[in-house]
Amino acid sequence: MLYSTVFQPHFNYCSAEVWDTLGQEHSKRVQKLQNRSARLIMNLSNDTPVIEALNALRWETLETQRARSKAKQMYKVINGLAPNCLADLFSSKKRTTHYNLRGASTSLQLPLPKTENLKKSFCYSGVKLWNALPAAPRETKNPFCL
């Protein structure tokens, strides 16, 4: 209960927008905190594979949680459920084509990054994640299926 009420909200707060832009080194450090928490809760030693503790607790890795959160946020953007300030970032990026392609109505045009910082931004990584999803989750009417 202590982890769920004190620590997990810090990991999940703005996870797609803030924590996802940290980079690999900082993401590993934050993941180590979750791993250490899982081992403490399960009373496991440090040499035990952390996947055992995560599976026993039914926890996803922070990276998986961030991807799921980002996919849900992108679903809201695509379906007009997101705030206008966020939806405006993606309004001009709908993919238009004269051909009847599968998934063309639910995919977005990936912006061309001029810097590495743009690749870390939500508007780039969100579009990349959204377009990588299979067609079924993108076309669903229930955002909680993502």
Same domain, 72 and 133: yes
Report pLDDT digits (tens) over 42-53: 999 999 999 999
Could you tell me the maximum CA-CA distance found in the chain, to the nearest angstrom? 59
- Supply φ then ψ for residue 103, to 5 degrees: 75, 0
74 and 133 share a domain?
Answer: yes
**CA–CA separation, 46 vs 49, rounded Å?**
8
Q: Are residues 47 and 79 in the same domain?
A: no
Taking the whole predicted model, whether its pTM rises above 0.85 is answered as: no
**What does the pLDDT average to over 59-67?**
91
Considering the domain architecture, whether residues 75 and 52 belong to the same structural domain is answered as no
List the domain range (segments joined by +) for residue 6. Answer: 2-64
Q: Give per-residue pLDDT as tens, 14-47.
A: 766 667 777 788 889 989 999 999 999 999 999 9
Q: In angstroms, rounded to a whole number, what is the distance separating the alpha carbons of residues 87 and 123?
A: 10
* Torsion (CA) 7, 12, 15, 16 in degrees, nearest 10: 160
d(CA 66, CA 27) in angstroms, rounded, equals: 11
What are the structure tokens assigned to 141, written together?
């009417």
Shared-domain flag, residues 83 and 31: no
Where a domain ends, among 32, 64, 96? 64
